[in-house]
Amino acid sequence: MLFAGVDAGSRTIKVVIIDDARMRILGSGLCDQGTGQADRAVEIFDKVLFKSRLKKKDIAAIVATGYGRNALEWADTAVTEITCQACGIGHQAAHVRTIIDIGGQDSKLIHLDPNGLVRDFAMNDRCAAGTGRFLEIVAERLEMKLEDMAEIAKKADNPAIINSTCAVFAETEIVGLLASGVSAENIAAGVQNSVAKRIGAMAKARLQGPVIFTGGVALIPGMKNALSRALGRAIEVAKIPQMTGALGAAILASETNSGRTRYM
């Protein structure tokens, strides 16, 4: 049977379709978030179905997750992103005990027990300074694409120190650094370090390993190393970091349908 997960996140909408008999992904896709979130979700879901040569009637059940999960009334049920991340990572990397998920508008630290269930979690959703949105803001200020900013950060010889814990004040701080002649390379590297430090502060002494990095920010070159330095330990990046929530939602759809889920 086929099942789908739809992650209506703060910045992007992700869709994953799985075949539960073989536990393999048959189709996936994502699109930017917009003002008509529910309509955008339908559009990307239909595109993934079309690319996979499937129809909606082929899907036995759909689970929605993410910020906009409750707006997707056509899904069979809605589950929190914390639970879906745990399920998705549990399927891909059962040895993991800590998930660091940095998305567009928030950052999450999720602790798992030996059975892969959520033991506790911490979340930073009050300021963009530790999120992907902050990196986007800085890229815009430096007049370059996000991927270009990540590339030039590799050339930094003296990464700038970004002290502000608020994205608005941090942007003002960056304007001052530019005015004082600090290079874009050192600012880019400093911003990566700043985001990593926010996560390190959230983790404090509660970090347990092995640790895995998920979310769209995990795709940005340099962020894994910056985060590893801030935490003082090695971390791994999820196989499909942007899609783990949607994957977990699809797996939960399958498990709920069969009555065997551990997560709900």
The fold for domain 96-237 equals Nucleotidyltransferase; domain 5 (3.30.420)
Q: For every one of its 264 residues, what pLDDT tens digit does the chain have, with 9 covering 90 and above? A: 999 999 998 889 999 999 988 889 999 999 988 778 889 999 999 999 999 999 999 999 999 999 889 999 999 999 999 999 999 999 999 999 999 998 877 888 999 998 889 998 888 755 666 677 888 888 888 888 888 888 888 889 999 988 776 767 777 888 888 889 999 999 989 888 888 888 888 877 677 889 999 998 898 888 898 899 888 889 999 999 999 999 999 999 998 877 776 665
| DSSP 8-state class, residue 53 | T
Coil, helix or strand at residue 26: strand
Question: What pLDDT shows up at residue 23?
Answer: 86
What the block records as the tokens of 210 is 């092995």
User: Which residues touch 218 (CB under 8 Å, ≥6 apart)?
Assistant: 102, 224, 237, 238, 241, 242
Does 1-93+240-264 carry CATH code 3.90.1150.200? no
Q: What is the pLDDT of residue 63?
A: 97
Check if 1-93+240-264 and 96-237 are the same fold: yes
The single residue listed with the structure tokens 């994205």 is: 167
pLDDT given at position 38:
87
**19-25 LR contacts (CB < 8 Å, sep 24+):** 20/251, 20/254, 20/258, 23/91, 23/251, 25/247
Distance CA 48, CA 37 (A): 17
For position 138, what pLDDT does the model report? Answer: 84
> Rg of the chain over CA atoms, in angstroms?
19
Domain boundaries, the chain: 1-93+240-264, 96-237
Model pLDDT, residue 212: 96
Q: For residue 195, what pLDDT is reported?
A: 86
